[in-house]
Amino acid sequence: MKRITGTYVTISTVGKEKTRAFIPFPLPPDPPLAIGEDLQQKIDEALLSLGRLDSISILLPDISLFLYMYLRKEAVLSSQIEGTQSSLSDLLLFELDDYPGVPIDDVEEVSNYVAALNHGLIQLKKLPLSVRLIKEIHRVLLRKGRGSNRDPGEFRRSQNWIGGTGPGNAIFIPLPPDKITECMSDLEKYLHYKTPVLVKAALAHVQFETIHPFLDGNGRIGRLLITLLLCAEGVLRGPLLYLSLYFKAHRQTYYDLLQRVRVDGDWESWLSFFVEGVRETADTAVNTVKSSLELFDKDKKIIQANKKKASSALRIHAELQKNPISSIAKLAQLTELPEISVINALKELEKIGIVKEITGKQRYRLFAYDNYLSILKEGTEKI
């Protein structure tokens, strides 16, 4: 079904060509979505997968452990879509404080994303999902490093475009700056509209990307909005769903479908793609949680088999589940063990293949819980 989803306004003339910006109509779409039997089944399957993911989170001995790592995985993936070359290991090294050799600009950008999502989740406990909160999150996202001079927390006051070298050859030109406040206000109303949550998340994401209200960081905020909406609506207890992995793997389809909504009003194809991504990503997340728990249990039993050296090694193993890359000094601080006990425990864990020294140095050595990192790293390889 072809719909008109917005209107165009001329913003300039390039040669003999008029350059036009697109102003989207408020949500929900008119005429309403045509959700047939097949699409409804996909939505139902995605909700079941989300339910399984939320249920398995209840069984976790420490959900904060997994949220800590999943949040960082989402940060890496979302930033990679924007062109950063930072990996999950880079971020973990950066967070060890002043570790040399990581790409500072890229990893600082990813670190900002972690802070922005954390800020949003904390604020959701006392504030509704709103334009005010979106601006706050944007301010944290661009608080330092690249983009910090691009008006953090403020809507743009100049025209932007997507693709091409300027408005004249752009793939898409979002609305003029004087229309942003009105369109974002309409989007805020839709965020509280009574409609199925996955439909709302899918449509709100496209609408935000179409408005493109900031000078920088729109893609990352648009993906954050999905996570925050699912948490705000109580579908998930925490950000265990990282859709950026799916968007990264199907990047061209993702961009093509966003544009089809704007040009043809084809919300149904986008919604089908979106809920398929939710189902696939939720199922993958459940498998990742299960694989991690199985690994922890298997390694714990291996450590316990050596009863004389088990006590310190088990404490180190527990901390490496929270911080899969760490130093001797850091582990001593976290476990409150003497450094010599940490060194001996790490030697034992290295001997039985649970940890791996990753610097090759004699001083300032770092140790990785390698098999756990391999599970977490899936899909986060540098582009």
pLDDT digits (tens, 9 = 90+) for 210-262: 999 999 999 989 999 998 999 999 898 777 787 888 998 899 999 999 999 99
How far out from the chain centre does Cα 26 lie?
A: 26
Which pLDDT score is estimated for 83?
Answer: 61
Considering the domain architecture, whether residues 178 and 318 belong to the same structural domain is answered as: no
- Does 293 fall in a domain? no
Say if CB 103 and CB 87 are below 8 A apart. no
Q: Are residues 198 and 262 in the same domain?
A: yes
- 210 with 355, same domain: the answer is no
d(CA 221, CA 292): 29
Residue-averaged pLDDT of the chain: 87
Q: Is residue 342 part of a domain?
A: yes
CATH number of domain containing 57: 1.10.3290.10
Q: Are residues 40 and 90 in the same domain?
A: yes
Tokens encoding 363: 């001083």
Question: What backbone phi and psi angles, to 5 degrees, belong to 209?
Answer: -60, -35
How large is the average pLDDT for residues 79-108?
Answer: 64
- pLDDT-above-70 percentage for the chain: 88
In a domain, 60, yes or no: yes
Stated as kind and residue range, the H or E segment containing 19 is: strand 17-24
Per the DSSP assignment, residues forming a β-bridge with 211 are: none
Please give the residue that has the higher pLDDT: either 321 or 92: 321
Are 277 and 347 in the same domain?
no
The answer to the question of residue 44 being in a domain is yes
User: Is the domain of 180 the same as that of 250?
Assistant: yes
| Residue with the larger pLDDT of the pair 203 and 11 | 203
Q: Binning pLDDT at 50, 70 and 90, where does residue 84 land? A: low
Residues 6+ away with beta carbon under 8 Å from 313:
303, 306, 345, 348, 349
| Domain count along the chain | 2
Label residue 98 by pLDDT band (50, 70, 90). very low
Least confident of 119-133, 163-177, 264-278, 292-306: 163-177
Residues 199 and 341 in one domain: no
Q: How far is 331 from 320, CA to CA, in rounded Å?
A: 8
CATH of the domain at 349: 1.10.10.10
Whether residues 157 and 255 fall in one domain: yes
- Give a yes or no: residue 335 inside a domain: yes
The pLDDT, as a whole number, for residue 205 is 98
Same domain, 248 and 339: no
Same domain, 159 and 213: yes
**116-149: pLDDT as tens digits:** 988 999 999 998 999 999 999 999 999 876 667 7
Which of 3-12, 83-92, 109-118 has the least mean pLDDT?
83-92
- With respect to residue 297, please indicate whether it lies within any of the assigned structural domains: no
State pTM to two decimals: 0.87
SS3 130: coil
**Cβ 74 vs Cβ 111: under 8 Å:** no
- For 285-316, how does the pLDDT look when each residue is reduced to its tens digit (9 = 90+)? 888 888 888 999 999 999 999 877 789 999 99
Residue 66 domain flag: yes
Residue (of 311, 315, 26, 16) closest to 191 by Cα position = 26
332 lies in some domain: yes
Looking at residue 27, its pLDDT comes to 98
Q: Does 67 share its domain with 96?
A: yes
Say if residue 93 is in the same domain as residue 166: yes
State the residue range of the domain holding 80: 6-287
